[in-house]
Structure 1
Amino acid sequence: MTAVPSTAPTGLRAALRQSPPLLWACVYFFCLLSGYYVLRPVREAMAASADLQAVFPPALIGWFAGRGIALQDFVLQVLFTGVFVIMVILQPLYGALVSRYPRRVFLPLVYGFFIATLLGFYVLFDSGVPGRGMLFFFWAAVFNLFAVAVFWSFMADVFSNVQARAFYGYIGAAGTIGAFLGPTLTSTLVQRVGIANLMLVSAGFLCICLFCIWRLRLWAVAREREQQLVSGETPMGGGVLDGLRLIAREPLLRWLAVMVVFGVGIGTLLYNEQASIVRRLYTDAAASTAFYSRIDLAINALTLVLQLGVTRWLLSRFGIAPALLIPGFAIIAGFSVLAASPLPVMVAIVQVLTRASEFSLAKPARETIFTRVDRQWRYKAGAAIDTVVYRAGDLTFAWVHKGLSVFGSSAVFAGGLVVAGIMTTAAFGLLREEKKLPAERPE
């Protein structure tokens, strides 16, 4: 098998014809996000459930009750705190895995773990075990971050920087289509087969991901041999906390971590305040559900349009600067309007612009950077940013929102304006450090 060409053809049809791994990468990301979005409604339903016994184990409910604390008032805060603790525990375990085993071992192990645990959740949901909601919420958060982080790290093994700028928009679009398909399957099947069997549907998608990994690994190996790069078929070595050490040591990674933390802060403040506004204005569950569904549909539609029509052109022609800065300036403008007039329709518009620009522009731009650095940065530091650092931001701003919300929606969005300014400043710092990198990875 020959390596993928080092130049990127123009147009999706030409790209698929000349670069066979692009098709497998698209199938991989499509199945990965289909499998996740099949289960996302289950996660959201568990977090919003009024049945505490279904969400939390009896011992935890009793612990809060014994101290006079209404657990139902802190459901999301407790869940986000638990997710962060789990991320801190798992990060060194993941670091040990990628340090000691070659790519052909640790990639299947990561996805094999998620498939095995899905089979376990099939049993838990089928049996109605108390506390299953909390466990599943934790699992879904870990899966969403670790599985996606591993995916993008692997893509940097397969594609060069030039190819990444040309192809990542298409790959992201395949994932967006999967994000459309997943909830559609859930809404169609859940009444017929039940929640437990949705676990098996998701596991089936992950099995296809394993096959895509096997196919794509052949091109990764061929590319590494042809360009005389360090082989991913040998263990990386190093320590289990190397990812966090790299973030502390390297200016580029520090700026990237700051940008991610405050970007997550924007999303968390907006998501939580939107939920508060919807609870106040929509007393009917069906009306609030319709409101959320329209937002999700608009986000996915705009994301897909940008990924297919803008992302490739922007990254290939102008580099990552516009893709990183446009979302920041758009969010600053949106939060300025919301601070003055936090109307539900404006919240919805800013939510759509914020999430669509993150998925279609900022995320692909950040990921192209990892095609120009070594494997330690990609698999260790990149994963640490996408897991521990990401969830630290999530947890921090979940509690920040709790404090700001006392002063009303305008205060929340005014605080978000400051957060958006810091995120955009971090983007400038990241761009300054990115210019110091070589055109391709120095391996």
Structure 2
Amino acid sequence: MSSEQAGADRRLGRLRAALGTSPPLWWAMLYFFSLLCGYYVLRPVRDAMGASSDAAAVFPRGLIALGERFGIEVGDFMLQLLFTGTFIAMVLLQPLYGALVSRFPRRVFLPAVYLVFIACLLGFWWAFDSGIAGRGATFFIWVAVFNLFAVTVFWSFMADVFDNAHARQVYGYIGAGGTIGALVGPAITRFLVEPVGVANLLLVSAGFLCVCLLCIMKLRPWALARERAQGGAGHDGRAMGGSVLAGLRLVWQRPLLRALAMLMFFGVGVGTMLYNEQAAIVRAAFETAEQRTAFYSTLDWAINGLTIAIQLLLTRFLLQRYGIAPLLLLPALAIVLGFAALAASPLPMLVALVQIVTRASEFSLAKPARETLYTRVDREERYKAKAVIDTAVYRGGDLTFVWVHKALAAFGSSMVFLAGLGIAVGMAIGAWRVVRAERTLPEDPAVEAEARARAA
């Protein structure tokens, strides 16, 4: 037997052992698979709209007419307007999400979030089928909101189900399950977009979200059992209570959360700079929405293929052996080097390559590392503060850097990527601050709470 075959057998043996000893792992993997598969059915459609050169196919007629009155060609600010609209929607929805988390128990608000998303998809199916004007911009904004809130809720729920030690063992597998879904989703879009049309793809995505609802119900007993073991607030499934805006206060007060917010802000910055340059390339290279959708689905395949290889070969090993430091610092270093290369030679193929490395390292390394941290904080930080970082801070970074890109684009791609190099350095500093702050966290909050109770 070759060493490669022996290594593959060992990895499969570890996965079988993990599945055998952890029943919730099955449902967690199916949950994340279905969630990302449903999202990636939609993502190429959204990206194709953002790269469209036809403003009338994206924006409502009233907005186009308003721009013409002031001598502004709306199509020249396609992504800037879409990202601004996304940020406004996120700011408006964040207090609503905070109220939902504060006032309703988990068994109510988790299914409610997904039921709302399913209802929205059915509404968009009707809008696309009817050809309603302005549906493109509304759909672009909604998909961005859906991605952030749905994935944030997923990882918050996983932190309820698994403790820190268990999370280090299984988060790599859960992430791999999601990555398989992220590979299947673009394939579904690529093969079905021509025969069934864009509108019916939305029904496929809604079906995957129904599977997510089933998984939430199946995982609920383990989440409640862990809450009872911790003896924390909400251990009986009750609402957390507290202020709707408590998440903002927590991010301001806690060093770890501030560092995570900094990492998120600059991490979004590097992604936004790449995304905008890539959109300009796609807009020039492809004429139709179907061609652009096919290109983006191919790019997603490459990103997710690299992601799952890293997840299966490296993530679990690095996380268990060395903790979060290499999972945060190695991607930051790779992105700094990538932007340095782009500043020197901004070739289209190099832009695509750096995009693949940036997103794959985020999904396979940085994301699992950040999520394990939330198993070591209390429930209010896990749901409220995390939602602020993953939504308001994330989209605030999008809004900031999409306009920064617009200002720099007039000076050429080299200037864009030179500025991006500075943003990447800011991301690396944020990653280092998270690693330092993480060292002050207790390994197991339940043990820490028990020790405090005994001391009292």
The answer to whether the superposition gives a TM-score over 0.5 is yes
Q: Does 1:295 align with 2:290?
A: no
- In 2 relative to 1, CA 59–21 (structure 1 residues): closer, same or farther, beyond 3 Å? same
Question: Which whole-Å deviations, capped at 9, do the CAs of 1:294-313 have from their partners, x for residues lacking one?
Answer: 53322111100011111000
Identity %, equivalent residues: 63
Distance 2:282 2:35 in 1: 30
Alpha-carbon deviation of 1:274?
Answer: 2.8
Distance 1:189 1:279 in 2: 22
Alpha-carbon deviation of 1:349?
Answer: 2.1
Distance 1:134 1:234 in 2: 38
User: Which shows bigger deviation, 338-347 or 86-95?
Assistant: 338-347
Aligned pair partner of 2:198 in 187, 195, 202: 195
Distance 2:139 2:277 in 1: 24
1:243-258 → structure 2 map (5 Å cutoff): 243-258=247-262
Aligned pair partner of 1:158 in 158, 161, 167: 161
Tell me if the contact between 1:278 and 1:344 (Cα under 8 Å) persists in the aligned partners: no
Aligned pair partner of 1:376 in 355, 380, 397: 380
Distance 1:139 1:335 in 2: 30
Question: Which whole-Å deviations, capped at 9, do the CAs of 1:201-226 have from their partners, x for residues lacking one?
Answer: 11111111001000001111122223
Q: Does 1:55 align with 2:93?
A: no
Name the structure 1 match of 2:418: 414
Name the structure 2 match of 1:354: 358
Name the structure 2 match of 1:307: 311
Name the structure 1 match of 2:326: 322
Alpha-carbon deviation of 1:383?
Answer: 0.8
Aligned pair partner of 2:72 in 47, 62, 69: 69
Distance 1:316 1:393 in 2: 31
- In 2 relative to 1, CA 272–232 (structure 1 residues): closer, same or farther, beyond 3 Å? farther
Residue 410 of structure 2 aligns to a residue whose secondary structure is helix
Question: Which whole-Å deviations, capped at 9, do the CAs of 1:374-398 have from their partners, x for residues lacking one?
Answer: 0110100101111110000011111
Name the structure 2 match of 1:39: 42
Distance 1:122 1:291 in 2: 23
Alpha-carbon deviation of 1:279?
Answer: 5.1
Tell me if the contact between 1:247 and 1:381 (Cα under 8 Å) persists in the aligned partners: yes
Residue 299 of structure 2 aligns to a residue whose secondary structure is helix
Distance 2:277 2:61 in 1: 30
Tell me if the contact between 1:21 and 1:216 (Cα under 8 Å) persists in the aligned partners: yes
Distance 2:404 2:13 in 1: 45
- In 2 relative to 1, CA 345–59 (structure 1 residues): closer, same or farther, beyond 3 Å? closer
Distance 2:16 2:320 in 1: 17
- In 2 relative to 1, CA 293–227 (structure 1 residues): closer, same or farther, beyond 3 Å? closer
- In 2 relative to 1, CA 96–290 (structure 1 residues): closer, same or farther, beyond 3 Å? closer
Alpha-carbon deviation of 1:137?
Answer: 1.0
Question: Which whole-Å deviations, capped at 9, do the CAs of 1:124-146 have from their partners, x for residues lacking one?
Answer: 11111111111111110110000
Name the structure 2 match of 1:170: 173
User: Which shows bigger deviation, 289-298 or 340-349?
Assistant: 289-298
Residue 237 of structure 1 aligns to a residue whose secondary structure is coil
User: Which shows bigger deviation, 137-146 or 404-413?
Assistant: 404-413
Distance 2:50 2:292 in 1: 16
Distance 2:37 2:293 in 1: 21
Name the structure 2 match of 1:434: 438
- In 2 relative to 1, CA 246–275 (structure 1 residues): closer, same or farther, beyond 3 Å? same
Tell me if the contact between 1:103 and 1:232 (Cα under 8 Å) persists in the aligned partners: no
Distance 2:315 2:101 in 1: 31
Distance 1:339 1:52 in 2: 30
Q: Does 1:267 align with 2:278?
A: no
Tell me if the contact between 2:106 and 2:237 (Cα under 8 Å) persists in the aligned partners: yes
Alpha-carbon deviation of 1:232?
Answer: 6.1
Distance 1:334 1:373 in 2: 34
Residue 342 of structure 1 aligns to a residue whose secondary structure is coil
Q: Does 1:393 align with 2:397?
A: yes
> Please, what is the CA RMSD of the aligned residues?
1.9
Tell me if the contact between 1:100 and 1:236 (Cα under 8 Å) persists in the aligned partners: yes
- In 2 relative to 1, CA 433–232 (structure 1 residues): closer, same or farther, beyond 3 Å? farther
- In 2 relative to 1, CA 369–399 (structure 1 residues): closer, same or farther, beyond 3 Å? same
Distance 2:161 2:112 in 1: 19
Aligned pair partner of 2:241 in 201, 224, 237: 237
Distance 2:156 2:292 in 1: 37
Alpha-carbon deviation of 1:289?
Answer: 6.9
Residue 271 of structure 1 aligns to a residue whose secondary structure is helix
- In 2 relative to 1, CA 297–201 (structure 1 residues): closer, same or farther, beyond 3 Å? closer
Alpha-carbon deviation of 1:291?
Answer: 6.0
User: Which shows bigger deviation, 102-111 or 186-195?
Assistant: 186-195
User: Which shows bigger deviation, 49-58 or 150-159?
Assistant: 49-58
Amino acid at match of 1:185: I
Q: Does 1:363 align with 2:348?
A: no
Question: Which whole-Å deviations, capped at 9, do the CAs of 1:58-114 have from their partners, x for residues lacking one?
Answer: 211111111110001011100100000010000000000000001000001100110
Q: Any unmatched runs of 5+ in structure 1?
A: 1-8
- In 2 relative to 1, CA 51–412 (structure 1 residues): closer, same or farther, beyond 3 Å? closer
- What is the TM-score when the length of structure 1 is the normalising length? 0.94
Tell me if the contact between 2:128 and 2:135 (Cα under 8 Å) persists in the aligned partners: yes
Alpha-carbon deviation of 1:10?
Answer: 7.8
- In 2 relative to 1, CA 336–52 (structure 1 residues): closer, same or farther, beyond 3 Å? closer
Amino acid at match of 1:329: L
Q: How many residues align?
A: 434
Residue 436 of structure 1 aligns to a residue whose secondary structure is coil
Q: Any unmatched runs of 5+ in structure 2?
A: 1-11, 450-456
Amino acid at match of 2:395: R
Q: Does 1:131 align with 2:134?
A: yes
Residue 441 of structure 2 aligns to a residue whose secondary structure is coil
- In 2 relative to 1, CA 50–428 (structure 1 residues): closer, same or farther, beyond 3 Å? closer
Alpha-carbon deviation of 1:292?
Answer: 4.8
